[in-house]
């Protein structure tokens, strides 16, 4: 509730005109009446006339402080509050509280801390407002310390032609750093006195962003904003409010990029939207989770961050969602948590909060998803990303090194988009990506197929689904610092296997681009198990191989009529006899695993070929690696 000093304090204080002219008293009464009527310009004029006659009239000083508070002229509000405080009246606590609030809003943390501390000296710490003031003092201490110890590099306007005299905010970025989408506040097409939000998109030449163009298919004469674009730039979720097809005050909508343009937006449906406020979506690159902010029931505060898994499309053609998950009280507070951004690594969440310890308004925080599927304690990103101004829409590029966000820190320019290098302690895992098309080997027609990517270090699935939006296309983000098993499968085809090793890489690398030609199951065809590993000069299967072996096991279960031969192959290091024996033992080890899992022995044979069937040169390290392989060849179908 707004604290109005002239009402709160003046009845405790004589009018102060006992020694002054009746003219001054009448001017003050006129000023008070004008203020009550909302005629603030007249109220200021009358008040200043009073102060010409009586420089330190308390009620007039308090009235001017209230007027400038209402006009958001905080510096002038502070001027008159300081004058009132200097009079040393017995009603100082409320003046001190307002001084603290006003200085805090401008980032004058030392002055705010001093005013709040004096307030506590007069009223004590055990009152309800005293508890609030204690927290504000801690905010001041935090801000002073943060500004003395910046946690990141210089914050600068984004290079190129993005920012204008209009407000630009809510940046969204594709994983290749080539497309930037944002919201711009523009003049209404009919009534130029109104402002409304539209989407704009710009492309980059890796140094500067070109002139942004409006996304015509998505923009309307009403507001749409708070968007997220998928990693591949083909799926667009956004927020729109009070539309005829809406379920609540604000709903989440989506559009798919097809045939060179964005499809007509559709409401994401009751599986996501409720009668409450759902907004500010962020679409994870791999897991199919959509993060968003909502004030619906079941939360911890005013607005909480939630997530829901996207399962695909139902028979009706509408999106199907799984269970909604509140991120819990490690993330959410009794205040407002908003503007979530799940990084391309799928594990690092950036969000805003007005309740966690910060600079006074909403600050940007980050938290990491741990192996037990819980979130780490949020960390304030510190100065100069966070300030006393409003910061929102924070995102981080695929490298993890650069952050983009909107701020009004240069007041004359309104909201603009800024970029800053992130301190390494605040960075997510850098990512690269795997992108490609899945087609039938013979016809080259696109195939809808299941893509599976597993981190071989912890056996966790990064991806385990079909692309619900595009037939035969996929884009998957891979955090560096791990080795991955990459499989593509479809009923009636041999599955595709590839190994992607990013184990000793600590920065983003060039993407992996594939055209995957799936081979129909028929006698004589073979697949290579690229994620089957043995100890050197040994047929002992390493633990990271069992993701691939289980994939092979399921393939044989699902195709119960086929018979296969397990073929072992080596490079040319060593004698022919040695390599024949080693490759045969390795093939037999795979046979033993499969039969131990219940596959009938008569369906499987094994053989070692040593280095007699190379697929590459043995003169290079890469070639020798390709020759060391295990193949599964179809030897029979049916009885």
85 and 220 inside one domain: no
Q: Mean pLDDT, to the nearest integer, of 219-235?
A: 93
Q: Mean pLDDT, to the nearest integer, of 70-91?
A: 87
261 and 386 inside one domain: yes
Question: Does the pLDDT at position 580 exceed 90?
Answer: yes
pLDDT digits (tens, 9 = 90+) for 275-322: 999 999 999 998 789 999 999 999 999 999 999 999 888 888 888 899
> CA-CA distance, 19 to 508, in Å (whole number)?
77
337 and 417 inside one domain: yes
How confident is the model at residue 469, as a pLDDT?
85
Contact 630, 529 (CB under 8 A): yes
Domain ends where: 148, 183, 218? 148
Q: Does residue 173 lie in a domain region?
A: no
CATH of the domain at 125: 1.25.40.10
459 and 383 inside one domain: no
Domain of residue 222 covers: 200-426
> CA-CA distance, 150 to 554, in Å (whole number)?
53
317 and 403 inside one domain: yes
Measuring CA to CA, how many Å separate 341 from each of 257, 348, 475? 22, 8, 19
Q: What are the two backbone dihedrals, phi and then psi, of residue 239, each rounded to the nearest 5 degrees?
A: -115, 135
How confident is the model at residue 89, as a pLDDT?
63
Contacts of 469 (CB under 8 A, 6+ apart): 234, 235, 256
How many structural domains does the chain have?
4
CATH of the domain at 469: 2.60.40
218 and 262 inside one domain: yes
Q: Does residue 184 lie in a domain region?
A: no
504 and 526 inside one domain: no
Nearest to 570 by CA among 497, 483, 484, 631: 631
> CA-CA distance, 219 to 223, in Å (whole number)?
8
388 and 306 inside one domain: yes
Angle at 564 between CA 560 and CA 566, to 5 degrees: 135
Domain ends where: 426, 449, 480? 426
Question: Does the pLDDT at position 556 exceed 70?
Answer: yes
Question: Does the pLDDT at position 6 exceed 70?
Answer: no
305 and 406 inside one domain: yes
Q: Mean pLDDT, to the nearest integer, of 379-392?
A: 92
Cα torsion angle, 389, 251, 477, 175, sign: negative
> CA-CA distance, 356 to 378, in Å (whole number)?
8
Q: Does residue 170 lie in a domain region?
A: no
104 and 213 inside one domain: no
> CA-CA distance, 596 to 373, in Å (whole number)?
32
Angle, helices 92-105/58-70, rounded to nearest 10 degrees: 30
489 and 525 inside one domain: no
Q: Does residue 525 lie in a domain region?
A: yes
Stretch (H or E) spanning 560: none
Q: Mean pLDDT, to the nearest integer, of 75-89?
A: 89
Q: Mean pLDDT, to the nearest integer, of 436-449?
A: 95
345 and 390 inside one domain: yes
Domain ends where: 367, 395, 426? 426
pLDDT digits (tens, 9 = 90+) for 178-209: 999 999 999 877 777 788 999 999 998 878 89
Q: Which residue has the tokens 């689904």?
A: 465
Helix/strand number for the chain, H first, E second: 11, 32
């Amino acid at each position: 509730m707004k604290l109005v000093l002239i009402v709160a304090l003046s009845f405790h204080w004589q009018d102060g005109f006992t020694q002054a002219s009746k003219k001054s008293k009448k001017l003050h009464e006129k000023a008070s009446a004008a203020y009550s009527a909302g005629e603030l310009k007249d109220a200021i004029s009358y008040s200043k006339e009073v102060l010409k006659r009586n420089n330190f009239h308390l009620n007039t000083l308090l009235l001017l402080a209230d007027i400038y508070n209402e006009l958001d002229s905080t510096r002038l509000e502070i001027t008159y509050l300081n004058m009132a405080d200097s009079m040393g009246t017995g009603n100082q606590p409320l003046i001190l509280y307002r001084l603290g609030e006003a200085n805090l809003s401008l980032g004058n943390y030392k002055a705010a801390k001093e005013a709040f501390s004096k307030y506590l000296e007069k009223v004590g710490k055990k009152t309800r407002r005293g508890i609030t003031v204690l927290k504000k003092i801690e905010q001041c201490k935090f801000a002073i310390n943060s500004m003395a110890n910046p946690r990141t590099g210089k914050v600068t306007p984004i290079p190129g032609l993005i920012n204008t005299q209009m407000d630009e905010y809510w940046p969204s970025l594709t994983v290749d750093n080539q497309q930037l989408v944002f919201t711009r506040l523009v003049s209404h097409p009919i009534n130029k006195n109104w402002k409304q939000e539209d989407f704009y998109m710009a492309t980059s030449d890796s140094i500067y962003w070109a002139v942004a163009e409006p996304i015509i298919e998505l923009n309307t004469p009403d507001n749409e904003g708070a968007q997220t674009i998928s990693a591949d730039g083909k799926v667009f979720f956004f927020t729109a409010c009070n539309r005829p097809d809406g379920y609540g005050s604000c709903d989440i909508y989506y559009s798919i990029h097809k045939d060179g343009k964005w499809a007509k937006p559709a409401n994401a449906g009751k599986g996501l939207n409720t009668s409450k406020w759902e907004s500010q979506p962020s679409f994870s690159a791999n897991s199919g989770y959509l993060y968003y902010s909502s004030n619906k029931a079941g939360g911890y505060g005013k607005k909480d961050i939630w997530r829901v898994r996207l399962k695909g499309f139902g028979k009706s053609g509408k999106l199907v969602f799984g269970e909604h998950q509140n991120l819990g009280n490690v993330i959410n507070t009794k205040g407002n948590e908003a503007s979530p951004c799940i990084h391309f690594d799928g594990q690092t969440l950036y969000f805003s909060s007005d309740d966690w310890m910060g600079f006074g308004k909403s600050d940007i925080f980050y938290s990491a998803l741990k192996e037990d599927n819980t979130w780490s304690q949020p960390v304030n990103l510190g100065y100069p990303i966070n300030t006393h101004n409003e910061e929102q829409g924070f995102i981080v590029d695929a490298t993890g090194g650069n952050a983009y966000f909107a701020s009004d820190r240069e007041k004359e320019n309104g909201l603009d988009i800024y970029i800053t290098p992130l301190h390494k302690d605040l960075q997510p895992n850098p990512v690269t990506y795997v992108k490609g098309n899945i087609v039938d080997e013979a016809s080259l027609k696109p195939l809808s197929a299941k893509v599976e990517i597993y981190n071989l270090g912890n056996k966790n699935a990064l991806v385990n689904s079909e692309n619900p939006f595009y037939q035969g296309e996929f884009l998957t983000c891979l955090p560096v610092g791990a080795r991955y098993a990459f499989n593509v499968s479809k009923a009636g085809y041999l599955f595709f296997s590839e190994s992607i090793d990013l184990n000793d890489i600590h920065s983003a690398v060039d993407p992996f681009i594939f055209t995957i030609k799936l081979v129909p199951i028929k006698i004589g065809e073979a697949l290579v198990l690229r994620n089957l590993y043995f100890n050197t000069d040994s047929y002992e299967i390493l633990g990271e191989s069992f993701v691939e072996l289980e994939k092979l096991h399921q393939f044989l279960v699902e195709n119960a009529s086929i018979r296969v031969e397990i073929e072992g192959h080596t490079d040319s290091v060593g004698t022919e006899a040695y390599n024949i024996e080693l490759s045969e033992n390795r093939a037999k080890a795979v046979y033993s695993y499969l039969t131990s899992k219940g596959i009938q022995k008569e369906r499987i044979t094994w053989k070692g070929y040593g280095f007699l069937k190379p697929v590459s040169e043995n003169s290079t390290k890469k070639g020798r690696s390709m020759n060391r392989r295990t193949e599964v060849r179809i030897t029979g179908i049916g009885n």
